[in-house]
Structure 1
Amino acid sequence: MRVTQAAAPRWTSARASWHTPVLGVLACATVALAPMEGYLFEVHGQLAKVAPALLAVAWVVIRVRERRAPNAHPVHAVLALFAVVLLASAAVHAGGRFTVDYTVRWLPFLLLTVIIADIAARELPIRLLLGAAAAGATAAAGSALYAMFAEGQPRASGPVEDPNDLAYFLVVAVPMLIAVLPARPPTPPLSTTASVSRAAPTLGTMVPSGRWAVIGVRVVAVLAGATLVAGAMATLSRGGFLALTAAVGWLLLRRVLPLRVLAGALAVVALIGALAMSLAGPALAKALGEKSFIAGSNVDARELRWQAAARMLAENPVLGVGPGGFRSDYAAASHNAEVGEQTPVAHNMYLEVAAELGLPGFLLFIGLLVLAAVATERALRASRDRRPMVAVQAALIAVAVASTFLSQQYYLPLWLLIGLAVAAESRLHERRGSADAGAPGDQ
């Protein structure tokens, strides 16, 4: 009996020891590979779904074995209600051309939000997932820039087929780099006595090495940030530029972006731009001219689509036109305004969600964003290190701005940020609960 009792904790600990690495590898792979889905699709049409599917299976199996449910949060209730509205709208419009495909696209993101929120609250550091997202986006930016100059493409693309969608991934990842920057090591006081200096010679050797490590990480972050910004600029996405401006402005407003880091990143971006002009000046000038030429027509097309989305919502306010219904109903709703585009997206996440899922779905969707913003602010006020939560806030702002011009509800960054916001607030509640349990009054 004594042997069994002594062995049980070790077995439980050993079992738990492999849970975290498995979930960590799969979660980081899911996050890092999301900006590379274009390349994955070229290899196999289902390859981009492998990492998320394995993560979901592993999470379910582990939580069932542990008999542990995710910590309750208001976001879970909103996600559940949103899923009900989604399925109800899909059932009403079951005969739609894209209904099944888009319903299947929605549901995994809702589940992934719950999974990310749970594992980031229990097993994985929030910084790790932010770093994985930033690393994947940086790799995508670098490969897109290389393909642009090596293959003569007019705009950066490839990792994601549409340059505007690629810009979305890159811009949202820029604030995430702030979360992985190390804090500056404390400088030892200059007024130390000779006896103290002689008694602790190792202190003098440790501080410079710590500083060099900090400098090294900051240099890597500057290079990564410059690559992300250069890649986003190379997509020639105006919505991406506005989103980047808003995100960087928020980082400066909350005083978490060191001016030296910003200046270094801008200098590297300027260097990349000068190098690009020297190597491919005529091609870049041609691309900018083409972008300026079609800019007016793009504005007109988006105005037509926004009007069509508003018309669909007005005619179907309860359950909308169904998942994917904007694409199938656009020609009729717009009175065939775009002959060359019969099944486009709305290029506005908010109007597209409202048109397809009605007012209930739209309000629940906005509720997710509001709850995420509130959760980050609560966690921020109780955090000693403000950078991770400010980074999440800035990335959410980038999502909100970019999605005014793009349909981004089917891409991971939005759902990753909601999950991380929930995880941060869950961690806060757990710390407060532990503190209360350890208080003398409770004891």
Structure 2
Amino acid sequence: MIFPLSIVSLLGLVCIALLASPWPYLAPGAVLGLVGFAVLYRKPTWGLLGIAALVPFEGFFKDSSLSGSKLIGASLAVILMLQLAMHQIPAERLRSNIWRYLIWFMVLYFLSLLNTDDMGMSLGHLRELSVGLILFVITLLIGRELNLDLFARLVTLAVSATCAMAMFSTKFQDQGRAAGLLEDPNAFAMLIAFAVPLGLLLIIRSPNLLHRLFWGGCCLLLLGGMTKTESRSGLVVLALSLVIGCWHYRAQLTRIRPRHLGFAMLGLAIVIPLAIYAMPAGYLARIQSLSVLSAGARGHDDESLGRRASYIVVGSQMIRENPLLGSGPGTFPLHYATTGYAKAFSANRKIGDLYRRAHNTYLEIFSELGIPAGLLFVGMLALGLYNLIRARRAWMQRRDWEQADMMTHLGVGFLSLTLFLMFLSAPNQKYVWIMLALTSVLRLKAEQAPLVETRA
């Protein structure tokens, strides 16, 4: 690609202006910015990989208006617009079967925005959602060149690093629960659940024992981090992911001989008691508290379950009052704060405790945007999962087992994200929007690959 001379000239003038200004020490930063911009212009997929790697570390920049991921994302957006304008990237790459749901979802979103109960809260919600939409478009444009193996490595390493930080330092914990660099332990558990299938794939694909041990150590850190989060939803999602993985590799399980079962049972006999012993007592208590669901959760049995039940009650009432367009994007906390539940479950009556989000993305969208928009959002995610299933099937028809395995592990990771949205209010989660765009890209790439001719 030819780097535009106009951009070089503009940044050169900026450097000269900075040298002549009272802040000449900023001029080297402009030069570094030019070098970074040039690198991203030639290798835009590096920017997307950088954003994916920086997601677990966003807490470092929570008090800053400018973070690494924002800077990379803004640069990528400008670069891709330039490349589209100069026809260096074909506009056909924007094609995706996700658009049929996303366009109508955004139409209903803006109609709900016009009818909102609080314009300030809705505009803040739109600003957050726009980050995911920009990442969706960026991934559509450059997803075909994305190195999926490197993507898996960076995500696994980044999340594993934050797991190590959270396990061995109370600074990265929230009331004893690991939160990494995020504010919510469940949000941290979501990242771990997404990274575990990718880490297991790296173990399977490792070329030698040393690599296998390294990625195995990363997976142990991920599992330890999940335990330290004390997330019940994370435990359920992780168990489901492992079951799906065993089903995918069921053909390889037939290679296990009776003599191997003894070693496997011995390993389980050692690992399971050690895991139970190392598991925090609070986590065991939280898991045992799920038994109250059979008799109906009450606030005095488990405050967390009672609070989540109150979200469902309030959200259901909002849906009944405004079934078509909802109460407006981001307005669930406004309605929840006016109920008795807000005071009952508030520890210190602070504003942040009263104005609570639904901790359920689907419930939030149905209540804030209406039933039609909620159905479109669910359909969008379901279509993404279906895209990965079709991509896996296409690679299996072409006898490319490595690509089929990659689709399986990415599919399990994406499924983990969609399931976790039932326990978190995260409609702008970066991995969700990157993976959503990637599903259609990977399906098109798989179906356009030539079929392997079978010999008679």
TM-score, with structure 2 as normaliser: 0.74
Once the 2 structures are TM-superposed, how far is the Cα of residue 18 of structure 1 from its aligned partner?
5.9
Residue of structure 2 equivalent to 1:203: none
Distance 2:269 2:326 in 1: 48
State how far apart, in whole Å, the 2-side matches of 1:292 and 1:239 are.
Answer: 13
Shift of 1:232: 1.0
Identity of aligned residues (%): 24
User: In the alignment, which of 405, 411, 419 is matched to residue 423 of structure 2?
Assistant: 405
Gaps of 5+ in 1: 1-9, 185-212, 278-283, 437-443
Question: Structure 1 residues 167 and 139, CA, compared in 2 at 3 Å: closer, same or farther?
Answer: same
For 1:50 and 1:272, the matched residues in 2 are separated by 44
Residues 53, 155 of structure 2: 8 Å contact kept: yes
Give the structure 2 partner of residue 136 of structure 1: 158
CA distance in 2, matches of 1:20, 1:135: 25
Structure 2 residue 77 is matched with structure 1 residue 56: yes
Native 8 Å contact 2:342 2:355 kept in 1: no
Partner of 1:424: 442
Structure 2 counterparts to residues 41-440 of structure 1, below 5 A:
41-42=62-63, 44-47=64-67, 48-65=69-86, 66=88, 68-69=90-91, 70-93=93-116, 95-121=118-144, 123-148=145-170, 154-181=176-203, 183=205, 213-255=207-249, 284-285=280-281, 296-332=302-338, 336=342, 338=344, 340=346, 341-383=353-395, 384=400, 385=402, 386-431=404-449
C-alpha offsets along residues 116-167 of structure 1, whole Å, 9 cap, x if unaligned? 133122x222333233222221122121112239989611123111111111
Structure number with higher relative contact order (C-alpha < 8 Å, ≥ 6 residues apart): 1
**In structure 1, what residue type is equivalent to 2:193?**
V
What is the aligned length? 383
1:38 and 2:59 correspond? yes
1:311–1:333: 8 Å Cα contact kept in structure 2?
A: no
Taking a change above 3 Å as real, the CA distance of residues 21 and 285 of structure 1, as seen in their structure-2 partners, is: farther
Read off the aligned partner of 1:139 and give its amino acid letter: A
> Which runs of no fewer than 5 residues in structure 2 stay unpaired?
4-37, 257-263, 290-299, 347-352
Residue by residue, what CA displacement relative to the aligned partner does 1:162-216 show, whole Å, maximum 9, x if unpaired? 11111111111111224444647xxxxxxxxxxxxxxxxxxxxxxxxxxxx4323
CA distance in structure 1 between the partners assigned to 2:133 and 2:268 by the alignment: 37
Matches within 5 A, 1:5-24: 22-24=43-45
The alpha carbon displacement at 1:62 in A equals 2.5
- 2-side partners of 1:18 and 1:337: how far apart? 53
Quote how far apart the aligned CAs of 1:329 are: 1.5
User: In 2 relative to 1, CA 215–343 (structure 1 residues): closer, same or farther, beyond 3 Å?
Assistant: same
**Which whole-Å CA distance do the structure 2 matches of 1:343 and 1:79 have between them?**
29
**CA–CA separation in structure 1 for the residues paired with 2:58 and 2:379:** 28
Amino acid of the residue matched to residue 406 of structure 1? L
Residue 45 of structure 1 and its aligned partner are, at CA, apart by 4.1
Check conservation: 1:37, 1:160, Cα contact below 8 A.
Answer: yes
Q: CA RMSD in A?
A: 3.5
Q: Cα 1:267–1:234, aligned 2, differ >3 Å: closer, same or farther?
A: farther
2:318–2:326 CA contact under 8 A, matched in 1: yes
Aligned partner of 1:214: which letter?
Answer: N
Residues 172 and 178 in structure 2, CA contact (< 8 A), matched pair in contact too: no
The question of whether the paired residues in 2 share the 8 Å contact of 1:232 and 1:241 is answered with yes
Residues 167, 235 of structure 1: 8 Å contact kept:
yes
User: Is the 1:76–1:114 contact (alpha carbons within 8 Å) kept by the matching residues of 2?
Assistant: no
Residue of structure 1 equivalent to 2:32? none
Task: String of CA shifts for 1:232-263, please: whole Å, max 9, x gaps.
Answer: 11010101111111111111111189879xx7
Question: Could you say if the C-alpha distance between residues 218 and 115 of structure 1 is closer, same or farther in structure 2, counting changes exceeding 3 Å?
Answer: same
Range that drifts further, 383-392 or 404-413: 404-413
**Greater Cα shift, 155-164 or 333-342:** 333-342
Q: Is the 8 A contact 2:189 2:226 kept in 1?
A: yes
What TM-score comes out, normalization by structure 1 length? 0.76
Classify 1:117/1:226 alpha carbon distance in 2 versus 1 (closer, same or farther; 3 Å). Answer: farther
SS in 2 for 1:111: helix
SS in 1 for 2:422: coil
Question: Structure 2: how far apart are the matches of 1:134 and 1:268?
Answer: 26
- Counterpart for residue 195 of structure 1: none
* In structure 1, distance between residues paired with 2:152 and 2:267: 19
Task: Report deviation, 1:60.
Answer: 2.3
CA separation of 1:379/1:295 partners in 2, compared to 1, >3 Å: closer, same or farther? farther
Q: Per the alignment, in what secondary structure is the counterpart of residue 175 of structure 1?
A: helix
Deviation string 1:353-391 (CA, Å, 9 cap, x unpaired) is 111111121111111111111111111012112211111
Q: Displacement, 1:52?
A: 2.5
- Supply the AA of the counterpart residue of 1:216: L
> Partner amino acid for 1:369?
L
Q: Deviations over 1:390-423 (max 9, x none)?
A: 1122112212332222223232222222122112
Offset of 1:97 from its aligned partner?
Answer: 4.4
Q: Which moved more, 1:359-368 or 1:392-401?
A: 392-401
